Amino acid sequence: MNALFLKDLAEKTHRGLRGRIEDGKSAGGLCCAIASSRLSTAERSQQANEIEPGEAAVVERMFREFIAGVSPKQIAKNLNREGVPGPFGGPWSPSTIYGNAKRGTGILNNELYVGRLVWNRLRYVKNPDTGRRVSRLNPTTEWMSREVQELRIVPDDLWTDAKSRQKQTRHAMKSAGGFGAAKRPSTCSQD
C-alpha cells in the first residue's frame, strides 16, 4: 500500500508542477538571477517570476567572458576572488557555469536566460543498490517549453555565440583526447 500511495503522490505532484509551467510560473529549483526562486514554496505560488538585476549582470558577464575566451574555471576563480556569491551563497564552481549542454544544466545552458522556460528534461530515479537519486534524461517529446520573454537576460547573439564556443571547445577536447588529455587545446586556455 505504501508503494502505491507514493506512486500516486508522485503523479499528482508532477501534474501540479505541469500546471505551474502552463501558467508560466516556476516549477522549482533555484535559478541564478530569478528573484522569486529564492522564496518559499508558499510565497512563490503567489508571486510571479522576476529578474534580480544584480545577479542578472553577473550572468550576462559570464556569457561575455566565456565568448571572449575565458574558461569557466577562470570565470569561477574571478567571481570567487571578487566575493560574488554563488547560487546557494557559496563559492562558484566551473561546473555550475559550464554544466552539461545535453541535459541543459549550468548557467551557459539555461534557456530561461533567453526567455524560454523548459521543464521535464530530467527525471530522478532511486538506485536500488545505493539508495541514491540518479537523474535520467527524458525523451524530448516529454519536455515542456514556454516562452517567458519577461525573464530574458541574455540577447540572442550572445546566446548563439556562447553555443558556438561550447561546440568549438567540445570538439577541441575530443580531438585532444578528452578532458584527461595531458595537453589542453588553445581554445580552452586561460585557466
87: exposed, middle or buried (Cβ count in 10 Å: 0-12, 13-18, 19+)? middle
C-alpha cell at 101: 549542454
pLDDT at 74 (0 to 100): 96
Residues pairing with 124 in the sheet: 135
Higher pLDDT, 189 or 109: 109
Per-residue confidence (pLDDT) for residue 101, from 0 to 100 = 83
What does the pLDDT look like over 99-151, one tens digit per residue?
888 888 889 998 888 988 887 788 888 888 998 988 888 888 888 888 888 88
Annotation: CATH topology of 51-172: Hect, E3 ligase catalytic domain fold (3.90.1750)
- pLDDT tens-digit readout, 153-185: 999 999 999 999 998 887 665 555 554 444 444
Residue 69 is predicted with a pLDDT of 95
Domain map (residue ranges) of the chain: 51-172
**6-31 pLDDT, tens per residue?**
888 888 877 887 777 777 666 666 56
Predicted TM-score (pTM) of the model is 0.71
Is residue 66 predicted with pLDDT exceeding 90? yes
Amino acid identity of residue 83, one-letter, is G
With a CB cutoff of 8 Å and minimum separation 6, the contacts of 16 are none
Cα 50 to Cα 63: distance, rounded to the nearest angstrom = 20
Average pLDDT of span 74-98: 92
In the structure grid, which three cell numbers stand for residue 177, read together?
583526447
- Rounded to 10 degrees, the C-alpha dihedral 134/15/31/93 comes to 0
Residue type, 141: T
Residue among 26, 23, 25, 86 nearest 55 (CA):
86
pLDDT at site 137: 87
